[in-house]
Structure 1
Amino acid sequence: MTIAFGPHTIRHSQVFFSSALSYGLVNLKPIARGHVLVIPKRNVPRFTALTPAEVSDLFLSAQTIGRVVETQFQGQALTVAMQDGPAAGQTVPHVHIHVIPRRFGDWTNNDDVYAELDQTKVDNEERKPRSEEEMAAEADFLRAFFPPLAAKDGQVSLTT
């Protein structure tokens, strides 16, 4: 079973969270331990094209996920960021929120995290992608903190 993330196919093993309208995914090329993505289930390229229900669900999901990754990856804070459109550095044409656990001193200048995000494009070969096994292990770890996921009609969804 897979889901679409723009033109990319994401395996179920990389999904650790599902709400009514959003998914939580581990990151192929994270810039920090616990750096994850939150995406709407509907493949939408720009933030302004989301419905009000999708916006609400996406940000409530990011808040829920943020609580867990900050705690589990020993963060002291979070960076929650969205690059909306190519001019803003978006490289995958599917709305997504970066949720990144932060610690004092993790970057020399606090805002350098944004430059780092911009440099970690999916097609940037300087950053080596993680293996499917590494990503599945992180998703398995995180999945334990959220309601169980199950397959339903070819989609990943919460079990009820």
Structure 2
Amino acid sequence: MTGCKFGPYLIHESQIFFRSQWSIGIVNLKPIAPGHVLVIPKRIAPRLADLNKEETADLMLSAQHIGGVVEKHFKGTSLTLTIQDGPQAGQTVPHVHIHVVPRKKGDWAQNDDIYKELDQQKKGVDNEDRKPRTQEEMAVEADELRSLF
């Protein structure tokens, strides 16, 4: 396989670090924290309700497994897992996905500020600290993570 689709976007094979029967783990173009990754179903499905039971269970189990690995690897103490299910919920890519973000004490001044940051990312708001990464930068992180699975 040369990659996959994330909604209308081609995800290069080098960005994929995890595969299960129905799901894929990919590195993020503009992570909001170290270890911020995405878990997506292999089949393009705009909404969570569009997944069948097997895909739904696999997506959640994959997110649980990936979360445990990235939390430990990036020395987190907690996780934020987020699904924005539909455009009015902030979803900008019409493909179900779970944001997995390792967390540490004090990483945001107010705990819920992470959701504002995710929202800014979705709206394409420029943030000097979060420029899109190159394919090479994403490949390096995916290689590092791939070795953990």
Query: Structure 1 length as normaliser, TM-score?
Result: 0.89
What's the CA shift for 1:123?
3.9
What is the RMSD computed on CA atoms of the aligned residues?
1.0
CA contact (8 A) 1:29 1:122 kept: no
1:131 corresponds to which residue? 134
What's the CA shift for 1:64?
0.5
1:140 corresponds to which residue? 143
5+ residue gaps, structure 2, are none
What's the CA shift for 1:2?
1.9
Query: Structure 2 length as normaliser, TM-score?
Result: 0.95
1:57 partner SS: helix
What's the CA shift for 1:4?
0.3
1:19-68 CA-partner distances (Å, limit 9, x unpaired): 00000000000000000000000000001111011110000000000011
5+ residue gaps, structure 1, are 147-160
* CA distance in 2 between partners of 1:125 and 1:131 (Å): 16
* CA distance in 1 between partners of 2:124 and 2:110 (Å): 25
Aligned length: 146
* CA distance in 2 between partners of 1:122 and 1:3 (Å): 23
1:120 partner SS: helix
* CA distance in 2 between partners of 1:122 and 1:51 (Å): 29
* CA distance in 2 between partners of 1:122 and 1:5 (Å): 17
Structure 2 CA distance for partners of 1:77 and 1:62, relative to 1, 3 Å: same
2:11 partner SS: strand
Letter in 1 for 2:91: Q
Q: How does 1:28-43 map to 2 (within 5 A)?
A: 28-43=29-44
Identity %: 62
What's the CA shift for 1:122?
6.8
Letter in 2 for 1:109: Q
1:140 partner SS: helix
1:68-115 CA-partner distances (Å, limit 9, x unpaired): 100000101000110011100001000000000000100011011111
Letter in 2 for 1:33: P
What's the CA shift for 1:121?
1.7
Structure 2 CA distance for partners of 1:26 and 1:122, relative to 1, 3 Å: farther
CA contact (8 A) 1:37 1:96 kept: yes
